[in-house]
Structure 1
């Protein structure tokens, strides 16, 4: 069995330890702002602006781990992320008050940028990803959040709201394939020989030795990258982020943008590609995919 804790086992610990600038005043002001000034602005999903400079993220799937992640990235890299003003939990719901970065999402800026501007943007993104790759995982780090806790990915086809942490990358892989073993004939008896071969190769690679995990945003879709002119001014939406296998940034960006084929074609301009791991993930997605 994969060495993972159930989400409800890690949630209370995460909530207790991850509050930032939590005070009665900040709690009251945040909730008051949402009911008053927040109504003057248009919300975007779970994010509600409360002024020109601040935005509040709250909702059933928002977790304080995201606030801890943004603070971790801000303290250890030069990657532009929203500054977290405060973060707290109230009646089972998390609230993150953060900087409101003003910029265009890449799709809105695409035509204006032109090829030269896009090349500059991709060069900046490549440098930012390399910075993340230089972050050293603490000893014994498996697949986990920046604080060693559970992870979240809305694309996962699972009953759990959150998942992990996993002691090893191999445990994570076993969880992804729902415990499948090719030696279990009851699970593979109806497969064609070519399918059996694909699954055996996937399993062998997943269970094999792996380098240490790397810190990963895990949701690099073009709407999560903000630009101003030809400068990247913000990488946002860090709720999926954590320590993952080295290939996960690329494959999660590729499979997470199935309807954005143009963006898929751009990934190699700022992300390292992993052809063998991509084929492994292609097989995994075919049988246990998120989509």
Structure 2
């Protein structure tokens, strides 16, 4: 495993109207006589938007997924470079197109089905195996060495924190210099004004430790964005949706694993989510309350 590095060249390429990564599998034709079709034009992507309100379009016949462009493209390239043995399976980036002020990234479609689709048909042994595989992936991500000379908390590009919790607060979402600064801002965004007075103490802030490791974190793991094989033995085939990833306090992945799924689902209720990474139950209590207050 190598370190996770931001690809500045990709940012420069993205300014072009069209970028095709010819070295990727999509453009490696099995036969010179039958070259691979060009990537679908943006017009074809936009025509699918009424059926895809999230802006994600699947071209099943080509094995291509198109998303509105963002730092996701940087992350997938960085992850594939950091884990050349596919220890952390992510989509392959095929290209980039710009059309009428909109940017689109073209990626490979991951094989299999979502873990949410597969869950009800898995045996207990398969559920345990898949959960253990997720744990190995999370552990591999947490072992990535921090790239900075100081332990900032923020995005892969040294920018603001991308987690949904911080959306709508672009002026003050980091990057943070340390865990305490991050925790203070988590509290600031959610605690009602009355609880910030001198008379009433916030009952949850003390549950967030102001020291600890800073780890590379997916920050949005749930059953809908974990792909598993359709055949046996069940294997993790892809981890999707890296928009919120970055460098976070070590407790953040555990909290998001739980908050992204309903308590009533077996994934949480029977303790599968608990076994993915080390437990941070006190922090979950605090973030759960803050999350409830934060959401409209």
**TM-score, normalised by the number of residues in structure 2:** 0.74
Give the structure, 1 or 2, with the largest relative contact order (CA under 8 Å, sep 6 or more).
Answer: 1
Which has the higher mean CA deviation after the structures are superposed, 144-153 or 130-139?
Answer: 144-153
Identify the residue that residue 46 of structure 1 maps to in structure 2.
55
Farther off after superposition, 36-45 or 232-241 = 36-45
SS at match of 2:74: helix
* Structure 1 counterpart of 2:43, from 29, 35, 50: 35
* Secondary structure class of the residue paired with 2:286: helix
Distance 2:287 2:250 in 1: 13
| Bigger fraction of residues in helix | 1
Instruction: Indicate yes or no: 2:232 matched with 1:227.
Output: no
TM-superposition CA deviations, 1:142-178 (whole Å, max 9, x none): 1111121223233446444993222222222222122
In the TM superposition, what whole-angstrom CA distance separates every residue of 1:47-68 from its partner, at most 9, and x where no partner exists? 112343211101xxx52x1111
125, 128, 150: which one pairs with 1:140? Answer: 150
Q: Which moved more, 1:45-54 or 1:253-262?
A: 253-262
Which residue of structure 2 lines up, in the alignment, with residue 289 of structure 1? 294
Work out the CA distance in 2 between the residues paired with 1:186 and 1:118: 42
Match of 1:267 in 2: 273
- CA distances 1:111-133 after superposition (whole Å, capped 9, x unpaired): 22211221221121111111111
- 1:61-82 deviation digits (Å, cap 9, x = unpaired): x52x111111111111221100
- SS of the counterpart of 1:177? helix
Alignment partner, residue 203 of structure 2: 198
The separation in 2 between residues aligned to 1:111 and 1:186, in whole angstroms, is 43
User: RMSD over aligned Cα, in angstroms?
Assistant: 3.5
From 131, 152, 163, give the equivalent of 1:122: 131
Q: Summarize the alignment of residues 1-291 of structure 1 with structure 2, pairs less than 5 Å apart.
A: 18=11, 23-26=16-19, 33-36=41-44, 43=52, 45-50=54-59, 51-58=61-68, 62-63=69-70, 65-77=71-83, 78-87=87-96, 92-138=101-147, 139-156=149-166, 158-160=168-170, 163-178=173-188, 187-188=196-197, 191=200, 196=201, 198-199=203-204, 201-202=206-207, 205-206=208-209, 208-211=210-213, 213-228=214-229, 229=231, 230-258=234-262, 261-265=265-269, 266-285=272-291, 288-290=293-295
**Unmatched 5+ stretches in structure 1:** 1-13
Alpha-carbon displacement from aligned partner over 1:256-278 (angstroms, at most 9, x marks no partner): 22365322232013222112322
CA distance in 2, matches of 1:186, 1:117: 45
SS in 1 for 2:150: coil
| Cα distance change, pair 114–134 in 1 and its aligned pair in 2 (3 A) | same
Cross-structure match for 1:9: none
- Judged with a 3 Å threshold, the aligned counterparts in structure 2 of structure 1 residues 215 and 37 are, in CA distance, closer, same or farther, namely closer
